[in-house]
Amino acid sequence: MITLKGIHKSYGERDRRLHVLKGIDLSVAPGEMVAIMGSSGSGKSTLLNLLGLLDHADEGEYLLDGKEVGRLTENQAAAMRNRKLGFVFQAFNLLPFKNAVENVALPLYYQKVGRRERNKRAEHFLELVGLSERRLHKPNELSGGQKQRVAIARALVTDPAILLADEPTGALDSQTTDDIMDLFKQVHGMGKALVIVTHEADIAAQTERTITLKDGRIATDTAHEPAHVSA
Ligand SMILES: Nc1ncnc2c1ncn2[C@@H]1O[C@H](COP(=O)(O)OP(=O)(O)OP(=O)(O)O)[C@@H](O)[C@H]1O
Ligand SMILES: [Mg+2]
């Protein structure tokens, strides 16, 4: 469903130019659960942002479900994102003045889904992530793990085939990290593809495939059995 060919990405101008991705070839199949690792500054977020149509590559091809999406306009990219992709970030990125249901329902607003249906679907996904009883609370009234559950519900509410997560457990303690990983495994069980950027080897071990970035290229790409961590 995702195919990258010869992707290059640099930041900055002329002599200050930083060549971050130097020829990335990568495919992700439907339903695959993949981890991306690499040292700080190796280009993990840059790669995830390209996959998420949040930024353009300088060179190379990006096929999403067989369609070239690397050169879409802002509006086209936004529409494609809204339909096909879900995002989860380290810092949750929830709207502070909206409660959990409203945060989860927001992507449906952009799809022009009516209010009643939006709320119904949002409640459904909050229940799925185990947060029904906190549904009317605002982000500052929720713990880090609860905020991330809201963010995951929001990522799922449009029923995307692919979830992209940039260090989703980076701000969480180890118990909460295990809970969120269990939730990701459940999402994987729903048949969705997941691409998770992480610094932690034991998180990568719980996926099916680990890719490491080094010096702007894919250094390793290894399929493995997912390790089971929690009881
Ligand atoms: N918008 C930008 N403008 C200029 N340079 C950038 C920009 N975004 C990232 N960079 C640089 O590109 C390189 C790769 O950054 P990136 O955020 O992709 O790394 P990362 O692997 O996600 O690192 P971390 O593990 O610290 O999150 C870094 O050297 C960073 O400073
Ligand atoms: Mg990063």
Superfamily of domain 29-56+73-223 in CATH is: P-loop containing nucleotide triphosphate hydrolases (3.40.50.300)
Residues of the chain with pLDDT under 70: 230-231
* Torsion 166-71-5-82 (CA) sign: positive
Question: 46 CA distance to ligand 1 centroid (A)?
Answer: 6
Going by C-alpha positions, the residue among 213, 192, 196 that lies closest to residue 90 is 196
User: What's residue 44's pLDDT?
Assistant: 97
**Ligand showing the shortest atom-to-Cα distance for residue 47:** 1
Are the C-beta atoms of residues 155 and 163 closer than 8 Å to each other? yes
The binding-site residues of ligand 1, defined as CB within 6 angstroms of any ligand atom, are 11-12, 18, 20, 38, 40-46
Domain ranges within the chain, ordered by starting residue: 29-56+73-223
Percent of the chain with pLDDT over 70: 99
Query: pLDDT digit string (tens) for 138-190?
Result: 999 999 999 999 999 999 999 999 999 999 999 999 999 999 999 999 999 99
Query: pLDDT digit string (tens) for 208-219?
Result: 999 999 999 999
Are the C-beta atoms of residues 201 and 35 closer than 8 Å to each other? no
- In this prediction the pTM is 0.95
User: What's residue 228's pLDDT?
Assistant: 80
